[in-house]
């Protein structure tokens, strides 16, 4: 039931715009079914550089949107796109089927056109970008956003901290591993997680110059001499302060590494089919044993949410 009206209760200052025709046409009058001022928002110029922005106050799940024209006028938008952001600075366009999605707008000033999103968005800021409008009028818009509060398990890393997941036994030997998480960061380098064993086994996921690299080795005790480790890199510009999804699936030597919607299939090197990790996995950095607060490589600086290792919710476990 993620269909609460999110805009109607917002203060007028939460709705901003690229420009306004007059003070009576400002963005503060752009709430659905309201008749304040001139009955909605109209920009100074009607062109494709205009936008109407809503600050929802917190990160929420957006499930649907609705629009009207400016009350009792000849001003309405016939098509538009949506952009969303967590910060109000870096923006992404709403897409369906890897295509920037164009929404059908209004055919008159006062009928409400409602669109349920095929894929919900998680964002704090939402922008309506008019593409076309009534030929005999101007851009005119009143809007509503429908959704619900977004609850997720989020861990914040400040570049000096890490989260440890210790095993019940000294050694964890697995033929199959699944790691999933979402992260965002403004730093281009940092270790997201790491585990290693005394026989040379290890697995490391880290940002390197805005790209995500997965390093893995299975049971090669002569690692430093044979150079038989496997490294795969995916993505670019991942330090853009937007959420990025990561999924790592390993079965024996076969690995599927997915970043957002891009997957790399590869086969690891090494002497065995199982991954032997001693004691623990670390998230956010690689601590130096016996030296709290000291790390082997650059720590991750950002947020990680929905972090699972082989079905275990790591962040939820840490909160307990």
Nearest to 236 by CA among 264, 207, 266: 207
Q: How many Cα atoms occupy the beta-carbon half-sphere of 49 within 13 Å? A: 4
Report yes or no: 70 and 38 within 8 Å, Cβ to Cβ: yes
- Burial class (CB within 10 angstroms; exposed 0-12, middle 13-18, buried 19+) of 262: exposed
Looking at the predicted structure, is the pLDDT value of residue 9 above 70? yes
- Which range among 24-28, 79-83, 90-94 shows the weakest confidence by mean pLDDT? 90-94
pLDDT band at 151 (very low <50, low <70, confident <90, very high): confident
pLDDT band at 318 (very low <50, low <70, confident <90, very high): confident
- Assigned token pair, 212: 């995500």
What pLDDT, in 10s, does the model give residues 262-275? 999 999 987 788 89
With pLDDT > 70 as the criterion, what percentage of the chain qualifies?
94
Q: What is the pLDDT averaged over residues 41-62?
A: 96
Structural domains of the chain in order of their starting residue, each with its CATH number? 4-149 (2.60.120.260), 154-319 (2.60.120.200)
Report residue 223's pLDDT band, with 50, 70 and 90 as the boundaries.
very low
Per-residue burial over 137-149, b = 16 or more CB atoms within 10 Å of its CB, e = otherwise: bbbbbbbbbbbee
Higher pLDDT: 191 or 291? It is 191
Q: Give me the residue label for tokens 């055919």.
A: 107
- pLDDT at position 315 is 84
What confidence score (pLDDT) does residue 294 get? 60
**169 pLDDT band (50/70/90 cuts)?**
confident
Contact 230, 217 (CB under 8 A): yes
- The 3 state secondary structure assigned to 54-74 is EEEEEEEEEEEEEEECCCCCC
Residue 316 phi, psi (nearest 5): -60, -40
Lowest mean per-residue pLDDT among 39-48, 114-123, 283-292: 283-292
Q: φ, ψ for residue 28 (rounded to 5)?
A: -65, -15
Q: Any idea which of 103-112, 166-175, 190-199 has the lowest mean pLDDT? A: 166-175
Spell out a b/e string for 90-104, using b for 16 or more CB atoms within 10 Å of the CB, else e: ebeebeeeeeeeebe
């Amino acid at each position: 039931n993620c269909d609460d009206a999110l805009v109607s209760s917002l203060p007028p200052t939460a709705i901003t715009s690229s420009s306004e025709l007059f003070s009576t046409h400002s963005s503060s009058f752009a709430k659905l079914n309201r008749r304040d001022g001139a009955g909605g928002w109209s920009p100074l110029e009607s062109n494709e550089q205009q936008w109407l922005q809503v600050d929802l106050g917190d990160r929420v799940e957006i499930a649907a949107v609705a629009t009207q024209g400016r009350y009792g006028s000849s001003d309405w938008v016939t098509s538009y796109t949506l952009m969303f952001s967590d910060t109000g600075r870096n923006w992404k366009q709403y897409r369906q089927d890897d295509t920037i999605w164009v929404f059908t707008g209004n055919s008159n000033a006062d009928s409400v056109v409602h669109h349920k999103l095929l894929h919900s968005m998680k964002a704090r800021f939402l922008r309506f970008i008019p593409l076309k409008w009534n030929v005999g009028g101007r851009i005119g818009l009143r809007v509503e956003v429908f959704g619900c509060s977004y609850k997720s398990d989020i861990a914040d890393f400040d570049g000096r901290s890490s989260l440890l997941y210790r095993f019940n036994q000294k050694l964890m030997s697995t033929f199959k591993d699944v790691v999933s998480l979402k992260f965002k960061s403004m730093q281009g380098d940092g270790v997201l997680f790491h585990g290693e064993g005394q026989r040379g086994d290890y697995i490391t996921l880290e940002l390197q110059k805005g790209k995500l690299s997965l390093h893995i080795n299975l049971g090669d005790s002569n690692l430093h001499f044979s150079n038989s480790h496997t490294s795969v890199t995916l993505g670019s510009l991942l330090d853009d302060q937007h959420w990025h999804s990561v999924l790592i699936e390993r079965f024996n030597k076969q690995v599927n590494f997915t970043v957002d919607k891009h997957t790399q299939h590869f086969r690891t090197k090494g002497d065995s089919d199982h991954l032997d990790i001693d004691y623990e996995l670390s998230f956010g950095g690689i601590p130096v044993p016996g030296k709290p607060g000291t790390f082997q490589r650059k720590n991750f600086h950002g947020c990680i949410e929905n972090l699972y290792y082989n079905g275990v919710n790591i962040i939820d476990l840490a909160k307990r």
